[in-house]
């Protein structure tokens, strides 16, 4: 009999019942979905609220006086309030809904960066950034004559913060750092990096796409100036994400996209922007996706973020232990105590995409490639890696299936 796993007393098998897709089979095998760092699966409550919106509330927001529009507007605003509470922002006015973390970073680069970054300024990043938190700054630095500098990654997959303090020359204007590496799993000390940023007169952007779904993240405790994350990694639909920014910073930023809904007054030759956060949400927004993000937060809060974190740490520790038993495996990143719920690895003599394809025949879904972190893979001396990532609905039995599948792949590929 399979061991019943619990999430601080909550039966994980019951949690899995909330996710319809986990009942499907792939190539005749029960699905073991180990790719939640790319996107999470969705609980029935999130799926249902989208259907409910289109069945009972479908109307545009902010502009209608009729009942359905008022209902949609109230629920859409309430979703902003839920996100603000979830990350402990001071007000919903500090929460801008965007399509995803990528759009949020681009918004910052265009609206804040182009007004504040000047020739000779330093934008400080890390060697482990996702392309979304690298390419926009490359373009901005090239346009403004600014300079990119990088906090290096040491042999254990950790940031060299001492080097950061000692070797950065020039006026640092912005630090942009991932909270958790989507390749190494490394959880970075963003509060310490924030203190360093503010001591040097810089602002800090935290890419929390991997941490907000699984940890209790408090923007006031961190004191970051910007934070971004995507809904689809935290049980919500695709096409919705959030930008957090301190209200005093948002007030000084020009809108990224202009048009309808984000204005207070329009004349033929000039316009006045609307209130926060709506001035950054031009046009008809992703209303149902925003409402569903609020429902996803309800689900996560119902389980408790501390419980989710503790359970995921147990799963990744078990995965690290089991995977390390495989001859010829190389695991990247720090120990399980210093990482979130993912493991990137390679098997000697087998290409990562071949590993992923072989596992798929056993119904096991993992990711292979450079995971939109090509410079980090170059630093590691590899072109690609296989990655298994875990979330609140995964079990030790699925880890065992992964390990057995890797043993089988070794036999197949010799």
Q: Which residues are catalytic?
A: 372
Dihedral (CA of 273, 277, 282, 284) sign: negative
- DSSP E strand boundaries for 246-292: 263-266, 271-273
Nearest Cα residue to 51 out of 230, 246, 291: 291
d(CA 370, CA 363): 22
Region of residue 88 (phi > 0: left; psi between -120 and 50: alpha; otherwise: beta): left
* Residue 392: closest CA among 54, 16, 9: 16
Beta strand segments in 140-288, E: 147-151, 172-178, 203-207, 226-230, 241-245, 263-266, 271-273
Q: Calculate Rg over the CA atoms of the chain.
A: 22
Per-position b or e across 139-157, b if 16+ CB within 10 A of its CB: ebbeebebbebbbebeeeb
Tell me how crowded residue 344 is: count the other CB atoms within 10 A of its CB.
31
């Amino acid at each position: 009999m399979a061991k019943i796993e619990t999430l601080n007393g909550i039966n994980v098998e019951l949690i899995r019942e909330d996710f319809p897709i986990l009942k499907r089979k792939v190539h005749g095998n029960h699905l073991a979905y180990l790719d939640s760092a790319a996107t999470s699966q969705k609980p029935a409550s999130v799926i249902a609220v989208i259907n409910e919106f289109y069945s009972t509330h479908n109307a545009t927001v902010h502009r209608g006086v009729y009942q359905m529009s008022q209902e949609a507007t109230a629920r859409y605003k309430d979703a902003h309030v839920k996100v603000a509470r979830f990350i402990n922002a001071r007000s919903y006015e500090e929460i801008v809904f965007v399509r995803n973390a990528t759009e949020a970073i681009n918004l910052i680069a265009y609206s804040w960066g182009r007004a504040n970054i000047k020739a000779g300024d330093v934008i400080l990043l890390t060697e482990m950034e996702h392309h979304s938190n690298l390419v926009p700054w490359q373009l901005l630095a090239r346009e403004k004559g600014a300079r990119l500098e990088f906090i290096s990654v040491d042999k254990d997959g950790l940031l060299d913060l001492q080097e950061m303090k000692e070797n950065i020359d020039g006026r640092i204007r912005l630090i942009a750092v991932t909270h958790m590496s989507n390749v190494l799993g490394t959880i970075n000390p963003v509060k310490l990096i924030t203190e360093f940023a503010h001591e040097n007169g810089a602002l800090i952007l935290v890419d929390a796409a991997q941490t907000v779904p699984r940890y209790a993240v408090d923007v006031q405790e961190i004191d970051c100036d910007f934070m971004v994350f995507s809904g689809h990694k935290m049980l919500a639909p695709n096409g919705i994400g959030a930008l957090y920014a301190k209200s005093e910073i948002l007030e000084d930023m020009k809108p990224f996209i202009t048009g309808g809904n984000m204005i207070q007054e329009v004349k033929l030759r000039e316009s006045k922007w609307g209130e926060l956060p709506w001035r950054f949400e031009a046009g008809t927004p992703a209303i149902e996706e925003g409402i569903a993000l609020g429902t996803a937060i309800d689900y996560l809060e119902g389980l408790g973020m501390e419980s989710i974190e503790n359970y995921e740490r147990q799963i990744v520790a078990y995965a690290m232990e089991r995977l390390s038993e495989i001859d010829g495996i190389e695991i990247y990143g720090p120990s399980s105590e210093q990482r979130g719920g993912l493991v990137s690895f390679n098997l000697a003599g087998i290409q990562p995409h071949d590993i992923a394809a072989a596992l798929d025949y056993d119904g096991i879904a993992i990711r292979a490639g450079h995971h939109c972190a090509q410079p980090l893979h170059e630093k590691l001396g590899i072109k690609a890696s296989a990655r298994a990532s875990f979330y609140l609905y995964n079990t030790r039995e699925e880890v065992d299936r992964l390990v057995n599948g890797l043993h089988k792949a070794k036999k197949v590929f010799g």
